[in-house]
């Protein structure tokens, strides 16, 4: 474990502690849904999106604290999307990260409602928990303005123009041959939009300038596409033991993938190019943005 691994682990632990503190206890009434929410939220994910949010806040000189509720909201929305994507009517996955999926453990009804609850709670958290410690009235109001913007950005990225739209196009493309432009659109919407929002919200709530916010949002979108291409590559080449899920799933499901459309070599090259573009985008921010650059390298080099 090097210094950067420790940095990532520390940021992920900060997000997990915040989530644990701000969610109702597992034995709250009615227990089934609270258990289902915590089961999926604390299933050992990489916490990539919330870590991106905290790192983006620090990259513009903000405190991680300012962006913590947004980081938590991002992870809740990511988790809801996984629960709903795994449902029998969608991807029909019975395993995720080596554990039975939500609907297998809690039944479909509770899984659907747990996803709905996580999505709803993400917006409640952004509307109530950010920047409550500020005592200066104008600063408080300016921060509230940024919180409203954050809610709008997150909803847009998670909604019909972003993640949900991507999932619909993806489902409708199953078993068909897909144009390269459509594949880019699916990946950019399904994965890029929410990762773009993760960096966007960090820069926004960390107090970044408009130029910094736009720069980091673009960084997140490029990184998100790179991440998804690597995901596609790992599905072809990865070791199931390291992945925590079976390989070759995409092909079996007839999913449109980067290696499927462009071949392995060009897919690898494209992920590398996107990561380099992301690194270039954050370079002008100097040493504070170093973790963002390292994150981009890590994402294309990962094996799980």
Residues 6-35 that bind its own copies (CB under 8 A): 24, 29-30, 32-34
Burial track 45-65 (b if 16+ CB lie within 10 A, e otherwise): bebbbbbbbbbbbbbbebebb
Nearest residue (CB) to its own copies, 91 versus 231: 91
Distance of CA 273 to the CA centre of its chain: 21
* Residue 128 beta carbon to its own copies: minimum distance, rounded to whole angstroms: 5
Give the count of beta carbons closer than 10 Å to the beta carbon of residue 273: 14
Residues in the chain: 304
* Residue 104 beta carbon to its own copies: minimum distance, rounded to whole angstroms: 13
Closest CA to 55 of 208, 225, 187: 208
Residue whose token pair is 């940024």: 146
Question: Do you find a cis peptide bond into 30, omega within 30 degrees of 0?
Answer: yes
* Residue 123 beta carbon to its own copies: minimum distance, rounded to whole angstroms: 5
Stretches 64-72, 159-167, 198-206, 258-266: which one binds its own copies (CB under 8 A)?
159-167
Residue whose token pair is 């994965």: 191
Interface characters, 106-145, with its own copies (x: CB under 8 A): -xxxx-xx-xxx-xxx-xx-xxx------------x--xx
Nearest residue (CB) to its own copies, 174 versus 211: 174
End-to-end alpha carbon distance in the chain? 16
Contacting residues toward its own copies, per CB under 8 A:
24, 29-30, 32-34, 37, 80, 84, 87, 89-90, 107-110, 112-113, 115-117, 119-121, 123-124, 126-128, 141, 144-145, 147-149, 151-152, 155-156, 158-160, 164-165, 167-169, 171-172
């Amino acid at each position: 474990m090097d210094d950067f691994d420790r940095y990532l682990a520390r940021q992920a632990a900060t997000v997990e502690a915040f989530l644990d503190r701000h969610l109702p206890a597992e034995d709250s009434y009615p227990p089934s849904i609270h258990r289902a929410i915590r089961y999926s939220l604390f299933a050992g994910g990489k916490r990539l999106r919330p870590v991106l949010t905290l790192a983006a806040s620090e990259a513009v000189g903000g405190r991680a604290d300012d962006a913590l509720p947004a980081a938590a909201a991002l992870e809740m929305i990511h988790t809801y999307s996984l629960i709903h994507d795994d449902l029998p009517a969608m991807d029909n996955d019975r395993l995720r990260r080596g554990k039975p999926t939500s609907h297998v453990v809690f039944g479909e009804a509770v899984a659907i409602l747990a996803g709905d609850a996580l999505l709803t709670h993400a917006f409640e958290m952004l509307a109530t928990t950010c920047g409550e410690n500020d005592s200066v009235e104008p600063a408080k109001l300016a921060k509230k303005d940024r919180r409203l913007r954050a809610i709008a950005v997150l909803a847009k990225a998670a909604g019909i123009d972003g993640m949900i739209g991507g999932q619909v196009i993806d489902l409708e493309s199953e078993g068909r041959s897909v144009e390269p432009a459509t594949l880019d659109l699916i990946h950019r919407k399904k994965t890029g939009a929410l990762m773009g929002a993760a960096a966007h919200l960090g820069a926004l709530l960390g107090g970044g300038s408009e130029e910094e916010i736009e720069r980091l949002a673009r960084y997140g979108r490029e990184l998100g596409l790179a991440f998804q291409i690597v995901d596609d590559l790992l599905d072809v080449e990865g070791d199931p033991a390291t992945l925590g899920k079976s390989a070759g799933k995409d092909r079996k499901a007839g999913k449109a993938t980067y290696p499927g459309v462009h071949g392995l070599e060009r897919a690898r090259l494209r992920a590398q190019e996107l990561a380099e573009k992301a690194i270039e985008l954050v370079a002008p921010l100097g040493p504070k943005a170093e973790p963002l650059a390292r994150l981009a390298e890590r994402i294309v080099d990962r094996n799980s």
